[in-house]
């Protein structure tokens, strides 16, 4: 299980303004591109978005389903990435004064990622999470300027 945190210098409402927009998902989730709504009203439970996953020269189609939504403190997603399998991605969102502390917890559930899950994979996920939370903070910064 890979857990990472980041302090975002905006209130939780600013973070939610980014998390609630399916077309922004591909901008802050590392490895995804061209995100768009698939089913339901994102991010309601059981709603989904789809996107392209790029692994070097390969492109795969993936989608993510909302499994748990407890505004303003929690969002849990299940990401489907074809042969790579599925992963649980959980955001614990906490007010921190006038800012927001985000804790990101991800682990493989099924498929190749689940079979190969080990401490080395968790270390790789830590690098991905650092980049992803940085991109998320930048998206929140940009959205707050609008």
The CA distances from residue 70 to 14, 18, 67, 117, in Å, are 16, 16, 10, 28
Q: Which residue has the higher pLDDT, 124 or 13?
A: 13
Type and span of the H or E element at 106: strand 99-110
How much of the chain, in percent, has pLDDT values that exceed 70?
Answer: 89
* pLDDT exceeds cutoff 80 at 48: yes
Cis peptide before 67 (omega within 30 of 0): no
The CA distances from residue 45 to 75, 96, 113, 134, in Å, are 9, 26, 24, 26
Q: Whole-model pTM?
A: 0.88
What Rg value do the Cα atoms of the chain yield, rounded?
15
**Domains, the chain, with CATH or none:** 2-145 (3.30.530.20)
What pLDDT does 26 receive? 85
């Amino acid at each position: 299980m890979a857990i990472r945190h980041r302090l975002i210098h905006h209130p939780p409402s600013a973070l939610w303004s980014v998390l609630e927009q399916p077309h922004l998902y591909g901008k802050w989730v590392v490895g995804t591109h061209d995100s768009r709504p698939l089913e339901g009203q994102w991010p309601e439970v059981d709603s989904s978005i789809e996107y392209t996953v790029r692994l070097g020269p390969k492109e795969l189609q993936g989608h993510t389903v909302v499994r748990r939504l407890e505004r303003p403190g929690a969002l849990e997603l299940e990401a489907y990435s074809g042969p790579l399998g599925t992963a649980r991605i959980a955001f614990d969102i906490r007010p921190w004064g006038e800012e927001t502390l985000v804790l990101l917890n991800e682990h493989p559930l099924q498929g190749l990622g689940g079979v190969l899950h080990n401490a080395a994979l968790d270390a790789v996920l830590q690098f991905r999470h650092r980049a992803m939370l940085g991109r998320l903070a930048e998206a929140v910064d940009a959205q707050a300027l609008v």
